[in-house]
Structure formats: C-alpha cells, structure tokens
Amino acid sequence: MTKVLRMPSSQGRAAVGEIASGLDVEQVRRDFPILYRKVHDRDLVYLDNAATSQKPGAVMEAITRYYEQDNSNIHRGVHYLAERATAEFEAARQTVQSFLNARRPEEIIFVRGATEAINLVAQSYGRSHVSAGDEVVITALEHHSNIVPWQILCEQKGAKLWVAPINDDGELILEEFDRLLGPRTKIVAVSHVSNALGTLNPVAAVIRMAHARNIPVLVDGAQAVPRLPVDVAKLDCDFYAFSGHKTYGPTGIGVLYGKSNLLEAMPPYQGGGDMISSVTFEKTTYNKIPHKFEAGTPDMSGAVGLKAALEYLNRLGMNNIAAHESELLDHATAVISTIPGIRVVGTAKEKAGVLSFVMEGVHPHDIGTILDQEGIAIRTGHHCAQPLMERFGVDATARASFGVYNTKREIDALVRGIEKVKEVFS
C-alpha cells in the first residue's frame, strides 16, 4: 500500500512523498545529488539502475573522508595511516560479511566486480576441478559475465557447457535443469535475478537440487544484492558474486563470497604482492584466505565506499527496498503492457525491478534516443545477454530498471515518453 504525504523538499519546492512499504522515497531522493541535475533541460528520470545505480552522499563522503584522513597502502606498513587504512578495509569486509550473513569475514574476497568474481571461480575452482569430459551447467538467463568465463574454462579443459532452458515467460524450467545434472557436472552457475528480464530465479531450489548430487553452486547476485535481502548462509550457496557499483556503491569494487573450506583448497587466481606468505625463486607459499585471492594493492577507497553503501541500504531496510521496487514494477507493468504495440519481454511470476519491452515497428535504440530528449534514461540493446535475446526472437529490448529513489511519477513520465515515441513513428 502506498501512503501519500506532503513534505517540503530540500530543493525548496513542494514534493509529494511516496511512502511505499516503509520507504520514504522523497527523503531517499534527497540523498542522491545527481537526481537534481537537469538533462536536456528536463528533470532527470533515471531508470537505468540495472546498468549502474546512482550514489548517495554518504558514499561520496566516506570516500572523501578516507582520502582526506586515512589513505595509505594496507597490510604492509607499521605507521599510523597504514594501520588506519587497514582497519577501514577490514571493517568493510566485516560489513559485507554481515550484510550477506556469511559465517566468517575471510569468506569475503574483494574483487573488481561480479565479472571478476565469476572469472576467479572459473579459473581457480574450475581449473582445479574440471577435466576433459566434465560438465558445467548454467542457464539460458545468464549475463555474458556468467557465460563467457565458463566457455573459456570448458575450452581450456575440453569440458562441456550445458544450458538449462527457460519457458516463454522467462522462467527457468527446473525439471530440465535437474535433468542436466549428472556425475560429470562439476559446478552450476546461475543468476539470482536476470538483468535483462528481471526474472527472480528459484536459486534455493537450484542449490538443493545441485547439492543433492554434491555439485557446488555459484550464484551471480549482481542484480539481486541491490534489490533483495540476501542470506548466503540460508541459501547455502557455495559462491556468491556481486558488484559495488550496482549496489549504490562505487565502481571498481565487488565481492566474491565463498565457503571457507572451498576457498582454502583453491589455488590462487592472480600472483603478486599481499597474496603470498613467503617467496623464493624456487618456491612461493601463499597467504591465508582472503588475502590469497587479493593480489596487489586493492581498491581501498572502493571498499570504504561499499561499506557506506551497504550501511545506507541497511538503514533503508532491504525488505522495504524489495517492497518498494515490487510496487514500482507492478505499476510499470500494468501501465506499459496496456500501451498498444508494446510487448513486455519477460513475464515471470517472480520478478525483481526490471522491465524489458519492445515496440512494434520501432527499434529500441530509437525509443532510448527519444526518451533521452525527455530526460529519461533507460537502457536499450542486448543487455550483455545475446543468447537470451535470441531465445525471445529479438536482437534488443528497451529496459527500465528501478532503484530506491524511483517513483510512480517517474514511471508515468516514462509512459508519456513512450506515447511521444509512438507519435514520432506514427
């Protein structure tokens, strides 16, 4: 239920605040300075959150504070700033641990993003466990980041990549997925939420089915962590990947969660400083987890920014965020799917805040360009999911994806924009 109240805006104009399931969206909007800029002389309507989210002031302030007060290289120095920076970095790890409900901080590896997290698992766990004739199972819903690293691994090892099919609504067919699992399956990799369709995959069931055959599961959570409460202990996944920049945090930082027994047994992904215990020209011994997987100077300010972002999301409440995006999605689906000539691509029963659509006779890029003139940012293209586009017989879609600061007003602006596109092409 959406309650409406009036409140003064920090921009000095009266605003209609929407309280959706506990989230005061007008208040939230004030935390994001970029939302107040104009685009082509129009109010910015930012609906490209699945590509990257905007950043609240708290994140930018944390990064500035880090550089103004604490910056130094970590884990190496004995001086004051080195200790401060190390403490900040490790505190960020603990924040991620509790955000995901991981059992131990060592199970959190800082990486550049979901892409690097998946490549790490493919090249470390994969290379040491997958042999010629073995199998890796993914789904038809994956982003290229959760396809290509497995293709590379399978090519290197002479292994096979199986793809679990989806139905016409964009839902994973669980029975077919189960049928693909066999004695040669060495790992399953599945997205939690599809970036292109918004489908919320039944990852708990996927994990149960795979574990029944002792197969580990990697979950690509790039689109889930910003939108839903995620509990890796409850899910019992073996690996979980996400990106800071889609989670209201900075670019350049991301997370791989891995069960400690698996991480401990895995070989390093990259070699360099910090990941070693001792080095001679004859032999190198490796550091403990998580450092074994964090070669070189990491993105310290990125970790500090990600910590601030997760704390911000905790203050809003992930259940509130999920409820808010669900309301936006319901509203957007209801109004957009009734526009003549529009087809929604991805009609799963369980979805998170992503709406993909095509318009008869108009290329998605033209939709995006005309909407841009109205100050509305959506994404058009194949969304790094070309096989999925092919499955739906399109080469591209227009995609609106929602975030904590979006409102029904903005969706109505999108609808007016779409009407304009229709006028131009009529």
Ligand X SMILES: Cc1ncc(COP(=O)(O)O)c(C=O)c1O
User: Is residue 332 at the binding interface for ligand X, with CB under 6 A as the rule?
Assistant: no
CB nearer ligand X, residue 380 or residue 407: 380
Q: Pick the piece of the chain touching ligand X (CB under 6 A) from 107-115, 259-267, 300-308, 318-326.
A: 107-115
Output the six-digit token pair for 375: 């100050």
User: Is residue 220 at the binding interface for ligand X, with CB under 6 A as the rule?
Assistant: yes
Q: Pick the piece of the chain touching ligand X (CB under 6 A) from 39-47, 121-129, 165-173, 216-224.
A: 216-224
CB 257 within 8 A of CB 229: no
User: Is residue 145 at the binding interface for ligand X, with CB under 6 A as the rule?
Assistant: yes
Tell me which residue has tokens 């190496």.
76
Q: Pick the piece of the chain touching ligand X (CB under 6 A) from 28-36, 108-116, 264-272, 368-376.
A: 108-116
Binding string, residues 27-66; x marks residues near ligand X by CB under 6 A: -----------------------x----------------
The answer for 74, left when phi > 0, alpha when psi is -120 to 50, beta otherwise, is beta
Q: How far apart are CA 32 and CA 36, in angstroms?
A: 8
Q: Nearest Cα to 213, choosing from 171, 180, 240, 164?
A: 180
Q: How far apart are CA 241 and CA 225, in angstroms?
A: 9
CB nearer ligand X, residue 219 or residue 376: 219
Count the site residues for ligand X by CB under 6 A.
Answer: 15
Annotated catalytic residues are 384
User: Is residue 243 at the binding interface for ligand X, with CB under 6 A as the rule?
Assistant: yes
User: Is residue 223 at the binding interface for ligand X, with CB under 6 A as the rule?
Assistant: yes
Output the six-digit token pair for 149: 């690293």
User: Shortest gap between Cβ of 298 and ligand X (angstroms)?
Assistant: 16
Beta-bridge partner residues of 240: 219, 257
User: Shortest gap between Cβ of 386 and ligand X (angstroms)?
Assistant: 13
Q: Is 276 exposed, middle or buried (CB count within 10 Å of its CB: 0-12, 13-18, 19+)?
A: middle
Q: How far apart are CA 11 and CA 31, in angstroms?
A: 12
Which residues are near ligand X by CB under 6 A? 50, 113-115, 143, 145-146, 191, 195, 220, 222-223, 243, 245, 384
